[in-house]
């Protein structure tokens, strides 16, 4: 058990992580650091944190510092944190891009105390009130550049995530960002684009509300995600996302062409091929 853990950012991921630490008896005291007083007040009210401190105080008091803020803010924040820690402390992040962060920290003298992690879970909601009990159970956590972190730091983070019910996967930062583009980032872009399509074409809000069934709602759900969180992800992982987006556009054009040419036989083949995803996603 940690005597004290600091979470940087008190939103969906960090708040859920804090709840999980408490529920599994992994931390006696959780400190919150946030750029807004409103978030701190809400996190205290909800019991996500036990106290709030300025960054330097919080870091010096903690065994583990867990960073879960937008990825563009993570790099400068992480450099500040790494300048403050000693060789007994552990720093981990939860960001959905890894390449930029890992490159920025690769020559830092305390690099070995940092563990690059990405718990693959999230919802379309944000802020302290979005924190969820039992959020990570049954999900995958990716640990990147394991060999560049101290063994005890990696073992500790593995143990924490496993106690939260997560399975562990290992990748280098490049591979992580490529795969994240295909299985996560493209889903958000598609959802944002679909929402814009419907908002552009369907001018009657009542009709959207009344006719949008479960299929549409589940597909467009991610369009409610915070732009301030996802824009930095798209910027940092631009090349990988462009690659998957180009392929997605190719596939959309195939469906469009089938309808234009009334080629329903090939349209059925495309859908049957898509059904093969059932072998992977039960």
Does residue 206 carry a pLDDT above 80? no
pLDDT tens-place string over residues 104-127:
999 999 999 999 999 999 999 999
Contact of 133 with 104, CB cutoff 8 Å? no
C-beta atoms surrounding 273 within 10 Å:
10
Question: Token digits for 3?
Answer: 């005597």
Does residue 200 carry a pLDDT above 90? no
The DSSP output letter for 52 is: E
If one compares 263 and 211, the residue with the highest pLDDT of the two is: 263
Contact of 109 with 135, CB cutoff 8 Å? no
Per-residue pLDDT at 215 = 72
Domains annotated on the chain, with CATH: 2-171 (3.40.50.720), 176-279 (1.10.3660.10)
pLDDT tens-place string over residues 143-177:
999 999 999 999 999 999 999 999 999 999 999 99
Distance CA(120)–CA(63), nearest Å, equals 24
3-state SS class at 33: strand
C-beta atoms surrounding 187 within 10 Å:
14
Contact of 68 with 10, CB cutoff 8 Å? no
Contact of 147 with 202, CB cutoff 8 Å? no
Distance CA(9)–CA(13), nearest Å, equals 9
Per-residue pLDDT at 209 = 67
Does residue 219 carry a pLDDT above 90? no
Residue 43 binned pLDDT confidence (cut-offs 50, 70, 90): very high
CA distances from 119 to 58, 115, 226, 252 (A): 23, 12, 18, 30
Distance CA(73)–CA(33), nearest Å, equals 13
Residue 15 binned pLDDT confidence (cut-offs 50, 70, 90): very high
Produce one character per residue of 155-165: b if its CB has 16 or more CB atoms within 10 Å, e if not.
ebbbebbeebe
3-state SS class at 69: coil
Per-residue pLDDT at 212 = 67
Angle at the Cα of 278 (from 137 to 276), degrees rounded to 5? 145
Does residue 218 carry a pLDDT above 90? no
Residue 196 binned pLDDT confidence (cut-offs 50, 70, 90): very high
Residue 25 binned pLDDT confidence (cut-offs 50, 70, 90): very high
Q: Please provide residue 228's backbone torsions phi and psi, each rounded to the nearest 5 degrees.
A: -65, -20
Per-residue pLDDT at 251 = 97
Q: Which residues contact 149 (CB under 8 A, 6 or more apart)?
A: 111, 112, 113, 114, 115, 116
CA distances from 252 to 148, 241, 256, 270 (A): 41, 16, 6, 11
pLDDT tens-place string over residues 227-267:
999 999 999 999 999 999 999 999 999 999 999 999 999 99
What number is the average pLDDT over the span 68-85? 97
Per-residue pLDDT at 213 = 65
| pTM beyond cutoff 0.85 | yes
3-state SS class at 54: coil
Does residue 61 carry a pLDDT above 90? yes
H or E element that contains 156? helix 151-163
């Amino acid at each position: 058990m940690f005597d004290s853990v600091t979470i940087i950012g008190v939103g969906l991921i960090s708040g859920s992580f804090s709840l999980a630490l408490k529920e599994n008896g992994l931390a006696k005291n959780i400190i919150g650091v946030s750029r807004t007083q409103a978030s701190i007040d809400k996190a205290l009210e909800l019991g996500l944190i036990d106290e709030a401190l300025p960054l330097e105080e919080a870091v010096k008091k903690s065994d583990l510092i867990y960073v879960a803020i937008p990825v563009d803010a993570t790099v400068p924040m992480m450099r500040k944190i790494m300048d403050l820690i000693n060789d007994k402390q552990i720093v981990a992040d939860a960001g959905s891009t890894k390449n930029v962060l890992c490159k920025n920290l690769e020559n830092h003298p305390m690099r070995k105390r940092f563990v690059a992690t990405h718990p693959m879970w999230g919802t379309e909601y944000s802020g302290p009130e979005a924190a969820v009990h039992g959020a990570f159970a049954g999900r995958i956590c990716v640990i990147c550049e394991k060999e560049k972190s101290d063994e005890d730091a990696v073992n500790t983070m593995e143990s924490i995530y496993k106690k939260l019910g997560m399975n562990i996967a290992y990748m280098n930062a490049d591979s992580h960002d490529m795969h994240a583009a295909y299985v996560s980032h493209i889903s958000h872009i598609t959802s944002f684009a679909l929402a814009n399509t419907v908002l552009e074409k369907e001018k009657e809000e009542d009709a959207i509300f009344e006719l949008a069934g479960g299929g549409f709602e589940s597909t467009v759900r991610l369009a409610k995600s915070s732009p301030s969180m996802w824009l930095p992800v798209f910027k940092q992982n631009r090349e990988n996302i462009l690659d998957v987006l180009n392929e997605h556009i190719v596939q959309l054009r195939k469906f469009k062409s089938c309808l234009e040419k009334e080629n329903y036989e090939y349209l059925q083949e495309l859908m049957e091929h898509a059904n093969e995803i059932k072998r992977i996603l039960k």
